[in-house]
Structure 1
Amino acid sequence: MTAVAVVVGLLALAADRREGQRDTVVRVVDGDTVVVDDDDAQHRVRLLDVDTPETVAPGQPVQCLGPEASALLEQRLPVGAEVVLEFDEDRLDRYDRELAGVFDADDVLVNAEIARAGLGVAVVHTPNRRFYADVLEAQEEAERRERGRYSPSLACTPGPR
């Protein structure tokens, strides 16, 4: 199978997934990536419009607040939790992860909660901007309240800004 055929196949699989369907959390990879199961298959999901410090990037050290971001995501989305994914224009990133807004059982946008804790920053991966305003507002709240990366007592330099 050619590389083009593989990419087309992956895009077709991502397009087949319905917005708003319920998935089950299998595991948290890091502060902005989870693996979910939709009863047919497991999918790696990258939370849209938020970026957290690295903890699992090959060849990179664990960044300041990366473990804390991962721990918060594990707390918000424990194994077995149900989530609802909402998508934007581009459904996959260059690592074949689905790009989505992830909503917990209380219908809370988890992407924004990571930023609200000061453990992630708002970021746009064009053309996807659907959740950016919510994440940016949460980030600004974290800055005003000096949470996470904005804490004056933080002894390390956080990852992405």
Structure 2
Amino acid sequence: MTYFTRFDSQFNDSQMRPENNRPFYAMSRRRRIGIIMLGLMALLLLVWLDHSPIRHSWRPTPELQEQTKAYDYEKYHAKTFAVINVIDGDTIDIGIPDGRYEHTRIRLLGIDAPETKSEQIDVMYFGPEATEFTNKLALGKSVTVYLDTPNPTRGKYGRLLAYVQLPDGRFLNEALLTEGYVYADSRFSHSFYNKYRQLQSGARSGKKGLWQNVTPDQLPEWLQ
């Protein structure tokens, strides 16, 4: 289908390719290693805070975010990993350690799936269907991870924020939107904000997925 394109045609060189991210990649090897080590320590702190009672009141400083970003780019960007677990429609685990954890948890960037795992709210309309769709497309597959250059690489709970490309060249983020399993998340900016809004509009007008029967009270709070 024409609405899916491969990575090279979606991102220009100055946006995403790691070899052109000059402020980091033009550094000497010793300085890069130093920044990566600082990033690793920053990442360990973020992951610890993810499981700490103070995580809701603490926010990383810009310096800490940049150190983590440099580390994440070196480790994840444009690299391929196996999907070992699907948490819900917009959250997956890939088979590479992250801090003290045996896997890395990815939150798909630019979308919001109906909740199925929240302790605060009940399972939302079309949440199980979104999870099953992500299972079908991604579980057990080798996917390529792309980070969004202008933005932090980690969300407030320490999860990696990424676009995930499937083996057939499609992006999982876009597939979920196009088929009406998730919402375009308008709360945060990213490189494909306008495109994702358009994909959602197409799914909505075509009454695909959740858009066939969803009612206003079934929408996430930020959309109501």
TM-score above 0.5, yes or no: yes
Aligned to 2:218, the other structure's residue is in SS state coil
CA contact (8 A) 2:97 2:104 kept: no
Structure holding more strand per residue: 1
Correspondent of 1:21 among 79, 98, 120: 79
Identity of aligned pairs, percent? 25
Deviation, 1:159, is 3.4
Partner of 2:159: 97
TM-score by length of 2: 0.62
Partner residue, 1:72: 133
Compute the RMSD of aligned alpha carbons. 2.8
What is the rounded CA distance, in whole Å, between the counterparts of 1:53 and 1:3 in structure 2? 31
Partner Cα distance (1:125, 1:90) in 2: 15
Question: After the TM superposition, which segments of 4 or more aligned residues of structure 1 sit over 4 Å from their partners?
Answer: 2-5, 153-157
CA contact (8 A) 1:64 1:158 kept: yes
2:204 maps to what in 1?
A: 143
Contact 1:83 1:103 in 2 (8 A): yes
Is 1:46 equivalent to 2:107 in the alignment?
yes
Q: Which shifted more, 41-50 or 27-36?
A: 41-50
Q: Is the 8 A contact 1:86 1:102 kept in 2?
A: yes
For 2:165 and 2:217, how far apart are their aligned partners in 1?
A: 29
CA displacement 1:80-102 (0-9 Å, x = unmatched): 20001111121000111000001
Separation of aligned partners in 1, 2:201 and 2:215: 21
The more displaced of 5-14 and 99-108 is 5-14
Match of 2:117 in 1: 56
The number of residues matched between the two structures is: 157
8 Å contact kept, 1:113–1:138? no
Contact 1:48 1:131 in 2 (8 A): no
Query: For each residue in 1:43-91, what CA deviation from the matched residue of structure 2 results, as whole angstroms up to 9, or x when unmatched?
Result: 000000000110001132100000011011001102x200011111210
Higher relative contact order (CA 8 A, sep 6+): 1
Greater percentage in helix:
2
C-alpha contact 1:101 1:131 (8 A) present in aligned 2: no
Consecutive unaligned residues of structure 1, counting only runs of 5 or more, are: none
